[in-house]
Structure 1
Amino acid sequence: MKRTLPALLVGALLLTLDGAPPPAVAVPPVPGAAAQAAAAPRGPHRPHQGQQRAAHHGAPPRCSRSAGPYQQQVERHLRRVADGRQSAGDCKAIRGFQRAHHITPANGFAGRVTAAVVRLLRAQRNPNKAGRCPVRARRVACVDLSRQLMWVQRGRRVVLAPVAIRSGRSALGTRTGTYRVYLRVRNHTSTLYNTPMPFAQFFDRGEALHGVYGDIYESPGSHGCVNLQWMDAERLWDVLKKGDTVYVWGRRTGV
């Protein structure tokens, strides 16, 4: 059975660089209500990074002179010239975006967390614009592996706005297809990996939608499950029911 990696960092106290994470600092998981507070997203359903202390007694990080791997996507969202090259103006605009969305370090580097926030913001108005998720009378949990997003819709109405996810890593990718929620366990622990899986909703041979106590950006992927931030998983628990459809499509690439 596939399960997530053990969480090493807690909610909003994550020391993760946008693009090139340093070694994680292990801390014990936060149980119950404390975890909910620690993992609560800043603002409506968007990914977040915790505060990271800058070197030199709190001095702000230097503006990156390098273009990040998602430079063009971020430039396009910020209505800059999408040439994929970093300029002083680009860095200033990206830093402003990072500060507004609590992404640290706010150094203007267009890394994977910044790109994830851009994807999530762009999906808020009409996540199913491309029509990839089936429209049905019952609830459908739409899992888009390409954008690393999920939402729930009933008919054409979105009943749970898009949230960020972490799907399976390259060697253990989340399987695509149409499934149904067949088991729900509010406080589950993986017997294979001894890993907490809060708000687990199983849909395919051990693969589940579930929360994590750490940061969904801290690793290259799960063991096949669809990971959500703790708070998002709790909200999903209140929306989905046993027998609801889970539709998974796309392919995780470089996110």
Structure 2
Amino acid sequence: MMSAIGCTAQATEAASSASPSASASPTASHASASPSPSTSPSRSTAAPARPTERPLMARGSSSAQVRELQARLKQLGHFSPSPTGYYGSVTAAAVRAFQAKHGLTASGTVTKATWSKLRSLTKQPTHAAMYPATSRPVAELDQRCLTGRVLCISKTSRTLSWVVDGKVLKSMDVRFGSQYTPTREGTFKVNSKSRHHVSTIYHTAMPYAMFFSGGQAVHYSADFAARGYAGASHGCVNVRDLNGISALFDQVRIGDKVVVYW
């Protein structure tokens, strides 16, 4: 900046010394003293860039606010699964559909404008709407689940029920292995627990893992939370309710029964 100002001043002085004196031609002297357009300091006319608005929620987010988002989108028919609290591809697609319908930029991320519009069109969701026990009807309990402390898991209803002395205390949706890596059926026991487990075979996170048969375990799955039944596990019992599996992990003891049945 200093060199540009210095160059402009030098050019003006040179023009003044080369022109007639002020007494001979005042008009000419006035003209020569004015800097030419080519030597005037440059001024930027571009407007300053506006900072990019930081989204309130986006893919990868996991929170109670995401549950509220999903419950509100569900009220308008844009989100069909039960709220999970995880912002994955299904949630992003629902947000894009909402934005496109209401003249907002269809980015798939929740901005202040999107959140304000959604809230204006929906009611505050109840706790039950945000934290449903399961999106699927809970299966009739297998006879093996009626005594003791049991993780009772039905492949038909795709639900897990935490049962103590025949009473269902908690239920949640689950997903199983594919036909190439099926989840084994039978009666087992929880033989180990690992809160922050990572698979040594697939190198994927398996939070709140409760192992019951070799490498097969009941555990939280971010993929299940994001994509639902579009995917499958490698044989484990996937849970998509993070709060639910976290609480269940603290209640289940080593030696508790696990029953997997059709």
What's the TM-score once normalised by structure 2's chain length? Answer: 0.52
Q: Quick one: distance in 2 between partners of 1:242 and 1:152?
A: 14
How many pairs were matched up? Answer: 159
Give CA-to-partner distance per residue, 1:53-97, whole Å, 9 cap, x none.
Answer: 34595317xxxxxxxxxxxxxxxxxxxxxxxxxxxxxxxxxxxxx
Residue 95 of structure 2: aligned partner = 53
1:182 maps to amino acid: N
Structure 1 position 174 matched with structure 2 position 209: no
Structure 1 position 232 matched with structure 2 position 253: no
Larger Rg: 2
1:152 maps to amino acid: W
2:256 maps to amino acid: D
Q: Give the match's secondary structure for 2:254.
A: coil
**Alpha-carbon RMSD:** 3.3
2:235 maps to amino acid: G
Quick one: percent identity of the two aligned structures?
Answer: 25
Q: Give the match's secondary structure for 2:259.
A: strand
Instruction: Give 4+ residue runs of structure 1 displaced > 3 Å after superposition.
Output: 35-43, 54-57, 99-102
Residue 108 of structure 1: aligned partner = none
Q: Quick one: distance in 2 between partners of 1:203 and 1:38?
A: 34
- CA contact 1:39–1:231 (8 Å) conserved in 2: no
Residue 75 of structure 1: aligned partner = none
Structure 1 position 241 matched with structure 2 position 253: yes
1:50 maps to amino acid: T
More helix by share: 2
Structure 1 position 186 matched with structure 2 position 222: no
- CA contact 1:47–1:164 (8 Å) conserved in 2: no
- Larger deviation: 171-180 or 48-57? 48-57
Q: Quick one: distance in 1 between partners of 2:177 and 2:188?
A: 17
Cα distance change of structure 1 residues 138 and 57 upon mapping to structure 2, 3 Å threshold: closer
2:203 maps to amino acid: N
What's the TM-score once normalised by structure 1's chain length? Answer: 0.53
Give CA-to-partner distance per residue, 1:200-238, whole Å, 9 cap, x none.
Answer: 000001100001224341643100000112222212202
Give CA-to-partner distance per residue, 1:105-152, whole Å, 9 cap, x none.
Answer: xxxxxxxxxxx83xx2x33xxx43xx4252444211011111111011
Q: Quick one: distance in 1 between partners of 2:172 and 2:209?
A: 16
